[in-house]
Homo-oligomer: A and B are copies of this chain.
Amino acid sequence: MNVDADLAALREFLAANGLDGYLIDDDASDSDQRYVSGFTAPDPYQTLVTDDGVHLLVSGLEYGRASAEANADSVTRRAAYDYQQLVAEHGQYEGRIRTIAAFLADHDVDAIAVPRTFPTGTADGLREHDFTVTVESEGIVTDIRATKTDWELEQIRASQRANEAAMARAEELIATADIEDGILVHDGDPLTSERVTEEIEITLLRHGCSLDDTIVACGADAADPHDRGSGPLAADELIVIDIFPRDKETGYHADMTRTFARGDPGAAARRRYEVTREAYDAALEAVEAGVTGADVHGAACDVIEDAGYATLRSDPTTETGFIHSTGHGVGLDVHEQPSVSPAGGELQPGHVISIEPGLYDPNVGGVRIEDLIVVTADGYENLTEYRVRLEPMAGDPR
């Protein structure tokens, strides 16, 4: 990985607090560590940021790969600190602590900052060996990650290309389905949420991506933004498809939502689609560096409230209308900084965010339209190449 991360803000924090290093002790599930180290492994490893560089402590099994792939100034294997002997002498738990202590001492570090999620076992163990361990509670690395480097933008674009292929496959299935007794039918079988989801996943797999979850929700299901959907897809109903894949190699996500309807979903649904599209246009129009995520969210709310629908701004307890925030950062995590919500701070060039207003009502169904964009100095660049259209079509979606 070649993230080319700028860790200056982290080093300033260390200097300002008289600390020698920032230590992460986690595994592949921690995106901050993956970002800082340019490396990922299924088993825990340690990443130390000091004034003079980024240093990794890994098992012998990972040493070759870490040396070749990591964005690190040094990679050391545990055996260099007699890990096996320490475990044999002191047990697994204390042997591990002593190995990390030796790694820190080797880099002249005795006062460290750690992330909020740093293991208490490691923190307390190091404290018993007279290290100072302080939790860095502001999430500096997470904030740094919000601004994407050019290399990261390339990876996110690639994931969005895979996402577009998967959405096009789903749209094609819906567009070409027969309608029998009000139900979409393909090759003689009902076209279900589950079947469309499977085709989305297979298309993503063929493009090097995976996903843990996807949403293909029809009718009342789609009125709950968190319902994944199930069962046959119906004609004359709104169908919300939200796909958020992760590239299996790079770990970077994409995110996109489209809403389709076969047949006639009715005037209420069509109007909601148009209003959602206007809110999406207004939110996009509001985006530029220096504007806050709250302002962008406000622009979407203005349109929706003006059209006579509730938002959480006009009614904090509403269960219909626009009942989530306008967007979120996307990167190594599918939900990350910055926030495009009432709490959203200033947008900066290189922030990658989703713009995804929606309207929900169990009696009508759900509408959501979502693109992925990158904030620029005077606006945004849309990372999504996919038309916005309620009637599904087969073929090139650009």
* A positions within 8 Å CB-CB of B: 29, 42, 61, 93, 114-124, 133, 135, 137, 198, 201-202, 205-206, 210, 212, 226, 248
Contact = CB atoms under 8 A, between A and B. Distances in A.
A308 B226 CA distance: 59
A8 B342 CA distance: 46
A124 B135 contact: yes
B121 A137 contact: yes
A311 to B, nearest CB: 17
Given A205-B202, A206-B198, A119 B121 contact: no
A127 to B, nearest CB: 10
Contact of A226 (B61, B114, B124, B133): B61
A356 to B, nearest CB: 16
Contacts of A210: 210, 212
- Which 10 residue pairs of A and B lie closest in terms of their CB atoms, listed nearest first? A116-B121, A120-B123, A29-B29, A118-B120, A93-B137, A117-B119, A121-B135, A120-B120, A201-B205, A202-B202
Contacts of A205: 198, 201-202, 205
Contacts of A42: 212
A226 B63 CA distance: 13
A116 B116 contact: no
A370 to B, nearest CB: 18
A232 to B, nearest CB: 19
23 contacts: A29-B29, A61-B226, A93-B116, A93-B137, A114-B120, A115-B121, A116-B119, A116-B120, A116-B122, A117-B119, A117-B120, A117-B121, A118-B120, A118-B121, A119-B119, A120-B120, A120-B135, A121-B135, A123-B123, A124-B135, A198-B206, A201-B205, A205-B205
A248 B197 CA distance: 13
Contact of A120 (B61, B133, B248): B133
Contacts of A121: 115-118, 135, 137
Contacts of A135: 120-121, 124
A210 B120 CA distance: 31
A144 to B, nearest CB: 17
Contacts of A114: 120
A118 B116 contact: no
A117 B119 CA distance: 4
Most chain B CB inside 10 Å of its own CB: which residue of A29, A117, A133: A117
A1 to B, nearest CB: 17
Given A42-B212, A123-B124, 6 more contacts: A117-B120, A118-B120, A120-B135, A123-B123, A124-B135, A198-B206
Most chain B CB inside 10 Å of its own CB: which residue of A120, A198, A206, A210: A120
A132 B373 CA distance: 46
A60 to B, nearest CB: 11
A190 B114 CA distance: 49
Nearest to A25: B117
A342 to B, nearest CB: 11
Most chain B CB inside 10 Å of its own CB: which residue of A29, A119, A122: A119
